[in-house]
Amino acid sequence: MSYRTALSEVLRTVIVPTAEATGARAKFPRASVTALGRAGLLGLTVSTEFGGLGMGLPEAAEVVARIARLCPATAAVLQSHYAAVAVIESYGSAWVRGEIAAGRHLGSLALAEDDPAEQGVQGEFWASRSTAARSGDVVALRARKHQVVAAGEADSYVWSSRPLTGPDGLTLWVVPAHAPDLFVPARPDGGGPHGSATSTVFADPVLVPADAMLGADGGGLDIVLRTVLPWLLELQAAVGAEAAHPAVADVSLRSARRAADSLAAS
């Protein structure tokens, strides 16, 4: 069965019947996410080596765009998931990639730190105030992450912090959502479509193994600019403003281009 056929079946049997309740009640579309996982669509962009469908950004954009016409919340969840998977595909463990491919793992992004309620502040996520401190094989991450889609619903977050070894730059981590001392408000406090569970995630601190690092220490800015941002912007373009990922909706594109130009010149 092709991914388009599988998507059509999920749209017909699950997403369409539940979309109205998702928006009206701001209820997370768990049934839709589960159905997408069983149909192989959470693993759409995971390598076939790990059981995924081996597709890329164009196919992900098509899937998100078709869903966005019917359920903006599910589309926003998939945007964050596919962008997170793009990072995990390059730097994550084989186990996590296999779990995503099997439809048992939903990823999300925890990168933005500026409070969207603060006037004149952009939700840019290539600078971090989050800290990381290593003790042996354990790293303590302290942060307050805003505009996290599927907060409290995802299985893991691609998380940014300052580097372990310097004050500048970014380091990325994969943080299990079930890790102790992660706190999500009972009522979502972020933007995004109703039902997308967009909210703040607090860590004070959350402990992760040192091998949860994605890429090199201090190499996260390159990953954000070359992988995360292009995926989010392409997926946003596919669905339009209505189902845009909330973090991208607040990004200053001019600032993004300046950061990308600076990186290319370095």
Per residue in 135-170, pLDDT tens? 999 999 999 998 899 999 999 999 999 999 877 789
Per residue in 210-233, pLDDT tens? 999 999 999 999 999 999 999 999
Q: Which of 258, 246, 191 is nearest to 221 (CA)?
A: 258
Tell me which H or E stretch contains 6. Answer: helix 3-10
Identify any residues that bridge with 173 across adjacent strands, giving them in sequence order.
159, 213
Note if the bond before 205 is cis, omega within 30 degrees: yes
Per residue in 75-130, pLDDT tens? 999 999 999 999 999 999 999 999 999 999 999 999 988 655 543 334 455 667 88
Per residue in 192-216, pLDDT tens? 888 999 999 999 999 999 999 999 9
Q: Which of 118, 92, 87, 101 is nearest to 41 (CA)?
A: 101
3-state helix, strand, coil in the chain (%, to 5): 45, 20, 35
Amino acid at 234: E
Give me the pLDDT at residue 85, please: 98
- Token pair 């899937």 in the structure block, residue: 63
Mean pLDDT of the chain: 87
Give me the pLDDT at residue 68, please: 94
Q: What percent of the chain has pLDDT over 70?
A: 84
d(CA 162, CA 115): 18
pTM of this prediction?
A: 0.89
Q: How confident is the model at residue 251 (pLDDT cuts 50, 70, 90)?
A: very low
Give me the mean pLDDT over the 177-182 stretch: 89
Domains of the chain: 3-106+222-246 (1.10.540.10)
